[in-house]
Chain A
Amino acid sequence: MKRFGVLLLLLVSAGLVTLSAQTKRIFTNPRPEAHFKTLFPNAAGVSSFGGAPLHWKVYGADPKANPAAPPASAGELRRDKPIGYIFWTTDLVPNERAYHGPIHMLVGMDTRGILQGVVVDYNSEPYGYFSIDLPEFVARLKGKSVRDPFVVGKDIQAVSRASITMNGAARALRDASRSVAKAFLSPDQVK
């Protein structure tokens, strides 16, 4: 009787948890603006968040505008020619997971498909603190092209005992960046 009760409890719990997992956008940091300067220090402004896939467009300043005027007033942005894109990996590849859930990474990519920077905004990886949370991890990602393989052990340095974490992060970065490149860039732009 006790055995049956325990089994039933396990099944009911599993059912309740699965029911509550609706398909909705993975909730990310609602104020990521602080990270934009890290990704694009020379940007004049960004668009609002939106589009499909969800992203921000990054704008440079209009060179024909008055250089004496303060930069980044809305009228001077070159809105017709974004200099790059910023996106959450969790929006592009919501099914990708590492050891304990998805890693929320904010990626900046320019129009040549080169990563300008990555910010690991949130993760719940038990071994994150000696792998993806280290500044070396994001520093090595800067300058990578979407055409790079993003394979742990090849162009992404492996971290012993954090393989699941590192592989999850690498896959998310690769697939998210390539999806954005396919959406907004053309193959000729990306060498």
Chain B
Amino acid sequence: MSAFQPAPDPWGFDETPVETWADILGPQYLDLALLTAFIALAVYSFKRKTVALKYLTFAAAIGYMGFAKSYLISITNIFSIVDWSWPVVKYNLAWYLFFGFTVVSTILWGRLYCGRVCAYGALTQTLDAVIPRRWRVEVPKAIEQRAAWIKFGILFGVISYYIITRDVQIYQYVEPFWMFGLFGTPLLWTLLAVLLVATVFVRNLYCRFLCPVGATLGLMSYLTVFRIKRWSECNTCRICEKACEWGAIDGPKILVTECVRCDDCERLYADPKKCPHWRIIEYNDRKLAVLPLRPV
């Protein structure tokens, strides 16, 4: 046996010329493991649809995905699509896992990323849970439905601006995700403070009306595979529509560009005490049970 022996490298640089998988994965495995764990938690909490798991996921999203790692989908990733310019795959596996999960989950379930994975979305929903209900300003439905279009305008505007100027830094003025890196100029922090104060009164303000990433995921949500099931009673019932904090229900229709799969309505559907579909079935069952006693 005479295997081909390449000439010994006279330079002897300490980098092996051919990287083994151990070399590539070594520095990345912890990142990959923790990210996989978070994704598993998010998907599990979504499947189980319990409130406790949802807030646990929010805590992990804010603490780990947000402040610790700053794993957030940003408008700069959409700029990368425009430029077709991506990080090197083999050195950035965790990033590709994160980005891939976002795309796949959006196609499967809609804006699940917004409702459960995005650290800012988690923050705004947690804020909403602790702020007294009295402070809340309910946006009239007519304004709400029109205001939802603003984020598409912002998306179109920012992408046009980027194509013309190639100024990546515009992202700082269009999204607040940089806050998790704790870096910003006094102007940016002031603008963020204004946004957060406004969010106290108009819940989920940024996500519903202003986020260009949410707008993009909303467009992709037209492909949603597993949609929220609706009953015939939904044509006239308004319980979920009133309960929805995202303005995503319009009579029998779920607006996929607005729905972030927060599951508040899905918990209502599953509740036999609340959803008319089950109450009617239960009422009919009780009626049937006494029917034989009536005279023929």
> Which of A146, A147, A161, A167 contacts B91 (CB under 8 A)?
A167
Contact check, B70 vs A100: say whether CB atoms are below 8 A apart: no
**Distance to closest chain B CB from A13 (angstroms):** 8
B157-183 with Cβ < 8 A to chain A: 166, 168-169, 171, 181, 183
> If the complex has contacts A126-B168, A130-B183, A181-B11, are A101 and B95 also in contact, measured as CB distance less than 8 A?
no
Chain B facing A: main interface SS: loop
**Distance to closest chain B CB from A55 (angstroms):** 18
**Distance to closest chain B CB from A136 (angstroms):** 15
Report Cα–Cα, A174/B84, bound state, in Å: 25
B55-98 with Cβ < 8 A to chain A: 69-70, 74, 76, 79-88, 91-92, 95
B295 at the interface (CB under 8 A from A): no
Q: Which residues of A contact B92 (CB under 8 A)?
A: 164
A68 at the interface (CB under 8 A from B): no
Q: Write out, one digit per residue, whether chain A residues 96-107 have a CB within 8 A of any chain B CB (1) or not (0).
A: 111111000000
Contact check, B84 vs A124: say whether CB atoms are below 8 A apart: no
B156 at the interface (CB under 8 A from A): no
> If the complex has contacts A3-B222, A6-B222, A161-B70, are A100 and B84 also in contact, measured as CB distance less than 8 A?
no
Q: Which residues of A contact B14 (CB under 8 A)?
A: 147, 149
> If the complex has contacts A100-B85, A100-B168, A161-B181, are A126 and B11 also in contact, measured as CB distance less than 8 A?
no
A-B contact count (CB 8 A): 71
B4 at the interface (CB under 8 A from A): no
Nearest A-chain residue to B89, judged by Cβ: A97
Q: Which residues of B contact A137 (CB under 8 A)?
A: none
**Distance to closest chain B CB from A154 (angstroms):** 11
Contact check, B79 vs A100: say whether CB atoms are below 8 A apart: yes
Nearest A-chain residue to B177, judged by Cβ: A126
A129 at the interface (CB under 8 A from B): yes
Nearest B-chain residue to A9, judged by Cβ: B219
Contact check, B84 vs A7: say whether CB atoms are below 8 A apart: no
Give the interface of B toward A (CB within 8 A).
10-15, 69-70, 74, 76, 79-88, 91-92, 95, 166, 168-169, 171, 181, 183, 219-220, 222-223
6 tightest A-B contacts by CB?
A: A101-B85, A126-B76, A17-B84, A124-B168, A161-B70, A187-B10
8 A-B pairs whose Cβ atoms sit less than 8 Å apart in the complex: A97-B86, A98-B87, A101-B85, A126-B74, A127-B181, A146-B13, A161-B181, A168-B91
